[in-house]
């Protein structure tokens, strides 16, 4: 039986990797990487010589066929993403689904799909966010255009706190969209922005939408990097008509 291990890797600080993950990556026959150039920094740092194969959201069916061929030939594979846990806003979930479907249809031999857990940006951000996230709705990365407004409205209509990812290119746009809709819904939001988690310039901002817009607009350095956005509705501060 071959094994496909879903291996969590650091989201920034290279020390944030488990001993088990290091052993598994060394013992694997191949490592599937979202970007082999990005993963090489981690692998070289720990002197991991395992051969790598690129696998990302734009990979063609022929790449999936190659992976299945390797599994059918009793190779043990590890799947890693550029940062964090594969399958979370990541094409790794697609590969796992394909393999499970092909197992059911008999197109592939038995494969043990095994998790090697570790860092995730979601849990890292929530751990320093304070109360309000025992239950939450995770929206991943919002669509750039089509469907974006529907997702943003969902933030206001759900009964849960919301966690999502946003890039430096759209963080101010998102905050402006939240500002406009909170006026329409007559709700006041409490927002936290976790930026560049575990990296040299890690930052955590918290406040109203208006306060965060001002903070980011007054210093563009604040908009660099990737963001985890944590949103709570402040029911004590509903906007009056």
CA separation for the pair 202, 206 (Å, rounded) = 14
CATH 3.30.950.10 location in the chain = 122-237
Task: Tell me the CATH number of domain 2-119, given options 3.40.1010.10, 3.40.50.1460, 3.40.50.920, 3.40.1710.10.
Answer: 3.40.1010.10
Instruction: Answer with the residue of higher pLDDT: 107 or 47.
Output: 47
CA separation for the pair 226, 240 (Å, rounded) = 34
**Model confidence over 80-126: pLDDT tens digits?**
999 999 999 888 899 999 999 999 998 888 899 999 999 999 999 99
- What's the whole-model pTM score? 0.91
Q: What is the pLDDT of residue 236?
A: 52
CATH 3.40.1010.10 location in the chain = 2-119
Q: What per-residue string of b and e applies to 183-199 under the rule 16 or more CB within 10 Å gives b?
A: eebebbbbbbbbbbbbe
Res 237 pLDDT > 60: no
Q: What is the pLDDT of residue 91?
A: 81
**In this structure, CATH architecture of domain 122-237:** 2-Layer Sandwich (3.30)
Q: Alpha carbon 37 to chain centroid distance?
A: 19
């Amino acid at each position: 039986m071959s094994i496909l291990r879903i291996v969590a890797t650091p989201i920034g600080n290279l020390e944030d990797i488990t001993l088990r993950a290091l052993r598994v990556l060394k013992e694997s026959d191949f490592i599937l990487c979202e970007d082999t150039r990005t993963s090489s920094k981690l692998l070289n740092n720990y002197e991991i010589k395992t051969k790598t194969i690129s696998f990302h959201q734009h990979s063609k069916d022929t790449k999936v066929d190659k992976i299945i061929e390797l599994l059918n030939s009793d190779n043990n594979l590890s799947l890693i993403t550029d940062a964090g846990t594969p399958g979370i806003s990541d094409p790794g979930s697609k590969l796992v689904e394909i393999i499970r479907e092909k197992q059911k249809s008999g197109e592939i031999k038995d494969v043990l799909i095994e998790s090697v857990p570790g860092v995730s940006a979601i849990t890292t951000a929530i751990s320093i966010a304070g109360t309000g996230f025992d239950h939450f709705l995770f929206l991943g990365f919002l669509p750039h255009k089509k469907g974006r407004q529907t997702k943003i409205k969902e933030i206001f209509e759900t009964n849960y706190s919301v966690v999502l990812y946003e890039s430096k290119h759209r963080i101010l746009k998102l905050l402006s969209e939240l500002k406009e809709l909170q006026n329409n819904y007559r709700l006041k939001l409490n927002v936290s922005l976790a930026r560049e988690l575990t990296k040299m310039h890690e930052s955590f901002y918290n406040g109203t939408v208006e306060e965060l817009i001002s903070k980011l607009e007054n210093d563009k350095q604040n908009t660099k990097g990737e963001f985890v956005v944590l949103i709570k509705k402040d029911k004590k501060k509903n906007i009056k008509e």
